[in-house]
């Protein structure tokens, strides 16, 4: 039997993949988790929206570990979707035409969350726009109808409920979600380099973030249960 690779520095394995995030977003859900509509904006020659065009891209399945910045990890998560590289080369580049130097990519979710990554990181072949999880359509708990999966980066870069991908020449149009402090948002957040945040040593952030896990899991699961109850009640009327 092959040896199981060690987890990255500071990470602890979880068996279950929880709904998780910043507390402000626990009760925010997409209006229609079954409808995919993605805007392409920013420093581009033509702003546009795509829906069915997404389905024309080549599909892949991928198994990768997911690492949350708060120190938990889930091994071998099975995703399905399209490579960001294919989206960029077959849709964004020829149709929206990002301007020269527009290499900061801002990703926005319908829940109001946003994050950013350099274009060069997103073009890695293991970065995908996912609409399936564990051989099933992606559900609202993990980002339906579409989310980013960037295995080399902490989970807070993996934006859920994607509605907009923006290409910018600089950071002036980007801010980490208010009221969360800037130190929480590393420009790249690479797991291998333990880039958990800015200004503070990673060992300090490990201990700080780990304290947040139990409440965050409970808070997000409670909000999800209430959301599902409302949806069920609405269908039964």
pLDDT tens-digit readout, 166-219: 999 999 999 999 999 999 999 999 999 999 999 999 999 999 999 999 999 999
**3, part of any domain:** no
Domain that holds residue 100: 12-170+190-236
**184, part of any domain:** no
Closest CA to 20 of 86, 91, 89, 71: 71
- Residues 7-53 have pLDDT tens digits of 999 999 999 999 999 999 999 999 999 999 999 999 999 999 999 89
- Residues 40-58 have pLDDT tens digits of 999 999 999 999 899 999 9
What pLDDT sits at residue 2? Answer: 54
- pLDDT value at 233 more than 90: no
**106, part of any domain:** yes
Which CATH number fits the domain that encloses residue 166? Answer: 3.90.420.10
The model's pTM: 0.93
User: DSSP characters for 69-104?
Assistant: TTSEEEEEEEEEEEEHHHHIIIIIIIII-BPTT--E
**127, part of any domain:** yes
> What is the number of structural domains in the chain?
1
**183, part of any domain:** no
- Residues 60-109 have pLDDT tens digits of 999 999 999 999 999 999 999 999 999 999 999 999 999 999 999 999 99
- Residues 144-178 have pLDDT tens digits of 999 999 999 999 999 999 999 999 999 999 999 99
Q: Could you give the 3-state DSSP secondary structure of residue 130?
A: strand
**205, part of any domain:** yes
């Amino acid at each position: 039997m092959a040896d199981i690779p060690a987890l990255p520095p500071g990470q602890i394995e979880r068996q279950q993949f929880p709904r998780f995030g910043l507390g402000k977003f626990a009760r925010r859900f997409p209006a229609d988790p079954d409808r995919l509509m993605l805007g392409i904006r920013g420093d581009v020659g033509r702003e546009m929206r795509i829906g069915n065009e997404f389905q024309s891209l080549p599909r892949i399945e991928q198994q990768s570990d997911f690492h949350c910045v708060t120190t938990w990890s889930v091994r071998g998560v099975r995703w399905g979707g399209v490579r960001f590289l294919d989206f960029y080369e077959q849709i964004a580049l020829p149709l929206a035409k990002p301007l020269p130097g527009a290499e900061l990519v801002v990703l926005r979710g319908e829940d109001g969350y946003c994050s950013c990554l350099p274009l060069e990181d997103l073009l890695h072949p293991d970065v995908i726009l996912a609409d399936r999880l564990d051989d099933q359509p992606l559900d609202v708990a993990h980002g339906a109808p579409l989310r980013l999966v960037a295995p080399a980066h902490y989970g807070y870069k993996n934006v859920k409920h994607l509605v907009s991908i923006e290409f910018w020449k600089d950071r002036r149009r980007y801010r980490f979600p208010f009221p969360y402090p800037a130190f929480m948002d590393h420009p790249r957040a690479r797991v291998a380099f333990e880039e958990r945040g800015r200004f503070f040593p990673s060992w300090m952030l490990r201990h700080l973030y780990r304290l947040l896990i139990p409440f965050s899991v409970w808070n997000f699961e409670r909000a999800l249960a209430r959301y599902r109850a409302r949806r069920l009640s609405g269908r039964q009327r």
